[in-house]
Amino acid sequence: MPVNLPIPTPESLLPIAGVRIGTTQAGIRKAGRRDLTVFLLDPGATVAGVFTQNRFCAAPVQVCREHLASGQPVRALLINTGNANAGTGAQGLADARATCAAMARALGLQAQSVLLYSTGVIMEPLPVDRVVAGLPAAIANAHAEPQATQWFHAAQGIMTTDTVPKAFSATVALGGKTARISGISKGAGMIRPNMATMLGFIATDANISQPALQVLARDVAEASFNRITVDGDTSTNDSLTLIASNQLGNAAIDNWEGAEAQALRSAVIGVARQLAQAIVRDGEGATKFITVQVDGGRDAAECRLAAYAIAHSPLVKTAFFASDPNLGRILAAVGYAGIADLDQTRIALYLDDVHVVTGGGRNPAYREEDGQRVMRQTEITVRVDLGRGAASDTVWTCDLSHDYVTINADYRS
Entry pTM: 0.93
Residue 411's pLDDT band, with cuts at 50, 70 and 90, is low
Q: Is 128 exposed, middle or buried, given 0-12, 13-18 or 19+ CB atoms closer than 10 A?
A: middle
Calpha distance 311→330 (Å, rounded): 9
What is the Cα–Cα distance from 179 to 329, expressed in whole angstroms? 46
pLDDT-above-90 percentage for the chain: 81
Among the residue ranges 41-50, 175-184, 196-205, 400-409, the one predicted with the least confidence is 400-409
Q: Which domains does the chain have, with CATH numbers?
A: 10-281 (3.60.70.12), 289-409 (3.10.20.340)
Measured CA to CA, the distance from residue 92 to residue 237 in angstroms comes to: 13
Mean pLDDT confidence for 165-186: 96
Confidence band of 412 (pLDDT split at 50, 70, 90)? low
pLDDT of residue 189: 54
Share of residues in the chain with pLDDT > 70 (%) = 94
pLDDT of residue 112: 97
Which pLDDT belongs to residue 403? 83
Beta strand 199-204 pairing with 239-244 = parallel
- Residue 72 scores a pLDDT above 90: yes
**pLDDT for 252 beyond 80:** yes
β-partners of residue 290 are 380, 397
Angle at the Cα of 280 (from 384 to 22), degrees rounded to 5?
Answer: 150
| pLDDT for the residue numbered 194 | 47
d(CA 177, CA 264): 12
Q: Quick: pLDDT tens for 371-399.
A: 999 999 999 999 999 999 999 999 999 99
Confidence of residue 195 (pLDDT cuts 50, 70, 90): very low
The per-residue pLDDT for range 135-168, each reduced to its tens digit, is 999 999 999 977 779 999 999 999 988 889 999 9
Residue 357's pLDDT band, with cuts at 50, 70 and 90, is very high
Q: Are 85 and 60 in contact (CB under 8 A)?
A: yes
As a whole number, the mean pLDDT across the chain is 92
- Who's near 133: CB < 8 A, 6+ residues apart? 26
pLDDT of res. 193: 47
Q: Which of 37, 52, 197, 291 is catalytic?
A: 197
Which one has a higher pLDDT value, 140 or 407?
140
Residue 191 has pLDDT above 70, yes or no: no
Is there a catalytic annotation at residue 197?
A: yes
Q: Give the mean pLDDT of 190-202.
A: 65
Count CA atoms closer than 13 A to 116's CA, side-chain side: 33
Per-residue model confidence as pLDDT tens digits over 292-343: 999 999 999 999 999 999 999 999 999 999 999 999 999 999 999 999 999 9
The pLDDT of residue 344 = 95
- What average pLDDT score do residues 79-101 get? 95
